Amino acid sequence: MDFDLTPEQRGLRRETIAFAQAELGAGTEEDDRASRFPAADWARCAEHGVLGWPVPVRYGGRGLDPLTTMIALEALGYGCRDNGLVFAVNNHLWGCAIYLLLHGTQEQKTRYLKPMCDGELVGAHALSEPDAGSDVLGLRTTAERDGDHYVLNGTKWFVSNGPVADVFVVLARTGGDAPGDGAPGDGAPGGAPGGGRPQDRLSAFLVTADLPGVRRTREFTKLGLRTTPMGAVEFDGARVPAANLIGREGAGYAIFNATIEWERAFMFAGHLGVMERLLEGAVAHASSRRQFGRPIGGFQAVAHEIADMKIRLELARLILYRVGWLKRERRLALQDATIAKIFVSESLVQTAMAAVRVHGARGYLEGFELERELRDALGGPIFAGTSAVQRGILAELLGLRGVLSGDPEGR
């Protein structure tokens, strides 16, 4: 087991930090206050190659392996103080581009990946709906085949990047009645109307924002990560070319499950950089701030807060790097990604809270950045599947049945 970075990975880390510190986040405070997407910084990320880190060179990307991509994203999170921009980049990569990389046709990859790497197209994942979030099988958006098109109808909510996105990965129902419509066997495996399983009713599509019938109808105001716009997208008879079907019809649920482990882990790589940045700031403040005749770092209560920040950082790094290594080796990482999602997202919240406590009043006030860091961190245990849902998934992976279905008999 070799825990050292390669010389190339260390060089990429230094290069990324230098780029992010010099060129990104200059207007973060104002952009956060206005909930404004930093389009100029997005363009700089594209020019630097960030938007194509995991994309093969032949499609316009940089072709980094999964572990090296994770290391680069960690460095981006450390160097860029605009956590919303980093979150937008991650949604673009792990909510959209990865679906094309893993499951798209050659034509889809050739047509869409290069402009996504170049920053010409912003990607998003349109999954959640007003009445369906973690319950993916409960989606009501429909896609009906009509010749060489599918006609989409429905509403997607909480779409990160939605108000500025040019292309969406959309999961929609292509067979059977919607859940809760009173259909016999509704929600039971093998009991779907017309035969088949409920998970075979969903399909995945690549939908561009310029199609007639696609409307970005609402933008939500959030507690944190405000420079990543979030909104609603409506499909009203939108005719999507059948060539934009990702995989085969009915494979949407399987594609989602095969892809989600990338989002659950890689989206949180930037959290490592934020945790390290917060730790360094806390150490510097505790060393220079004096009370009762000595630096506050000399008080056990403060010193222990900082020690715990370091423990969380190193443990989070180990589990995330493990996922990156597993994916580099083309191995499954669902259990490890689930653990990583829970631990890393919750660790950042705890570290941000600790940083606020170490800085006292400065941590609570606007203008000292820490209150924004805490607001941004609070989203982590919610997006990409809440911590409660992830713990249920982990319990089922460990052999406990009926945890998510609510079936006390474990059927």
The DSSP code sequence of 86-150 is HHHHHHHIIIIIHHHHHH--HHHHHHHHHHHHTTSS-EEEE--BTTBSS-GGG---EEEEETTEE
Q: What is the CA radius of gyration of the chain?
A: 22
4 φ/ψ angles, rounded to the nearest 5 degrees? -80, 145
Residue 263 among the catalytic residues = yes
120 φ/ψ angles, rounded to the nearest 5 degrees? -75, -30
Q: How far apart are CA 407 and CA 402, in angstroms?
A: 5
Q: What angle do CA 52, 56, 206 make, to 5 degrees?
A: 70
Sequence-ordered list of residues with C-beta below 8 angstroms from that of 148, at least 6 positions apart, any chain: 241, 242, 243
CA distances to 75, 77, 96, 257, 332 from 336, rounded to whole Å, are: 22, 21, 22, 14, 9
Select from 41, 19, 43 the least CA-distant residue to 30.
41
Q: Which of 74, 234, 249, 263 is catalytic?
A: 263
Contact by Cβ (8 Å): 63, 57: yes
Q: How far apart are CA 335 and CA 19, in angstroms?
A: 34
Q: What positions carry a catalytic annotation?
A: 263
